[in-house]
Amino acid sequence: MDLLIGTSNAGKLGELRELLGDLDVRLLSLKDVGLGDMDVAEDATTLEENAELKVNAYSKASGKITLADDTGLYVDALDGRPGIYPARYGGPGLTPKDRRQKLLGELQGVPADKRTARFACVIAVANPQTGETTSVRGVCEGCIALEEDLSGGGFGYDPVFIPKGYDVTFSSIGVEEKNRISHRGLAVALIIPVLRRMANES
């Protein structure tokens, strides 16, 4: 079975390829199917709605079973901001580092025990042949670090997010460990049975 990964985010694409690597499917990127320039407006008000907007648009355009996700970061001390729009936080034209620095700036003076936050990831899968769309949600509790972690890897807000039970950020815990505990890793674990069923049916 071919499975199209509906994202233009290189970091997310790499992470999903890693998480889905044990599945007996051929993973395709948007560029692989000629949709590299296709942009889907994410103008809904929930992660579920945005994930389904993307997955339905890409599956319809490609004719392939498609997976897409939408991720939110909710910081309690900021009344839940940046929420469902972490990639737009601070306005247009900012780099991921700029957005992380804005987040840290807004939390300046907030003590460590008040910096609680959580990542949520909704993964949706759509089969254009059957019309089926299924979505699942994974959540990772944690907190926002006092400063950016420049020692590791990761992408997006990984350098400032410390998962619960750890004393280092996503950037420094290692790819395998991150994939086991992260919001996206937990959501993938829930969607894998759906993908296996679709592969058997196709």
Residue positions annotated with a catalytic role: 70
CB atoms under 10 Å from CB of 111, counted, come to 9
44-56 CB burial, b ≥16 within 10 A, e <16: eeebbbbbbbbbb
Question: Please, which residues have CB within 8 angstroms of residue 134's CB and are 6 or more apart in sequence?
Answer: 124, 125, 191, 194
